[in-house]
């Protein structure tokens, strides 16, 4: 039976696969101090196989998810690893007492690396983008544009006109200085002030600052929906 090596809190432990899975599920993204007092909204709908995708967090419901076929593939030759994949998807997100938003997203994964015992990345042009707009006013669209540099998590902006919200992925976990080998979540900030965060590991969770400006609530929460759907897809992409 295989044993998995876990590195937690600076200690190396051997664990059975089921125990390792439990340890991962106990992990949580590291939150900015400004969001520590915000209510944690668990995400439902990411668990298990699903024919129709639906997500929910707090008063928000994500539905009508439409995905294209994934185009591309991967190539492995001796020490060379290459991957290229693309998919588009659309969705609807609505708050119980708020207006509905529509999103149209596109993700691309382009990566080349040499595996010589230690993986050396030669090129990474992975990116994610989405057009997000109120259902009743499609002309008032916000654009989410994220790019990836080597092994760093995706980062970029959510903007419309002169309004710009910074979006940064993080691989930091709460309670340990050791980074995760994948993206743990994303933080949305306005002028360096955190407005919201979404955890994309395990089942997922969302935090919204109590003082999140009303005019940013729609674009931020629909961008969060797009990232949850994107991370579900990215798990199927070739590494």
Give the pLDDT band of residue 73 (cuts 50, 70, 90): low
DSSP E strand stretches across 58-162: 60-67, 71-77, 80-95, 100-115, 119-124, 127-134, 142-147, 155-160
Q: Is 46 a member of any domain?
A: yes
Please state which of the ranges 77-91, 166-180, 183-197, 202-216 shows the lowest mean pLDDT.
77-91
What's the pLDDT tens digit per position in 42-57? 999 986 556 788 999 9
Q: How many domains does the chain have?
A: 1
- Domain holding 163, by residue range, is 4-234
pLDDT of 196: 98
pLDDT of 125: 66
Q: Is 99 a member of any domain?
A: yes
Q: Is 239 a member of any domain?
A: no
Q: Is 162 a member of any domain?
A: yes
Q: What percent of the chain has pLDDT over 70?
A: 72
pLDDT of 18: 44
* Residue 165 token pair: 């919200």
- Global pTM reads 0.80
Chain centroid to Cα 127, Å, comes to 12
């Amino acid at each position: 039976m295989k044993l998995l090596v876990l590195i937690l809190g600076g200690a190396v432990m051997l664990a059975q696969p089921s125990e390792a899975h439990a340890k991962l599920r106990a992990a949580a993204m590291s939150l900015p101090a400004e969001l520590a007092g915000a209510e944690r909204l668990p995400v439902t709908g990411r668990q298990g196989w699903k024919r129709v995708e639906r997500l929910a967090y707090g008063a928000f419901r994500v539905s009508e998810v439409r995905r294209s076929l994934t185009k591309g593939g991967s190539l492995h030759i001796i020490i060379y690893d290459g991957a290229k994949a693309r998919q588009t998807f659309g969705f609807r997100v609505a708050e119980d007492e708020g207006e509905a938003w529509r999103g149209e997203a596109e993700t691309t994964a382009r990566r080349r690396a040499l595996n010589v015992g230690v993986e050396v990345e030669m090129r990474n042009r992975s990116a994610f983008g989405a057009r997000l707009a109120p259902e009743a006013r499609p002309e008032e669209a916000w654009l989410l544009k994220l790019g990836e540099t080597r092994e760093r998590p995706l980062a970029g902006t959510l903007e419309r006109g002169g309004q710009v919200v910074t979006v940064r992925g993080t691989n930091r976990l709460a309670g340990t200085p050791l980074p995760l080998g994948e993206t743990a979540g994303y933080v949305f900030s306005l002028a360096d002030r955190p407005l919201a965060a979404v955890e994309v590991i395990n089942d997922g969770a969302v935090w919204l600052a109590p003082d999140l400006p009303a005019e940013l609530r729609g674009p931020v929460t629909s961008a969060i929906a797009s990232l949850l759907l994107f991370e579900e897809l990215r798990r199927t992409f070739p590494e």
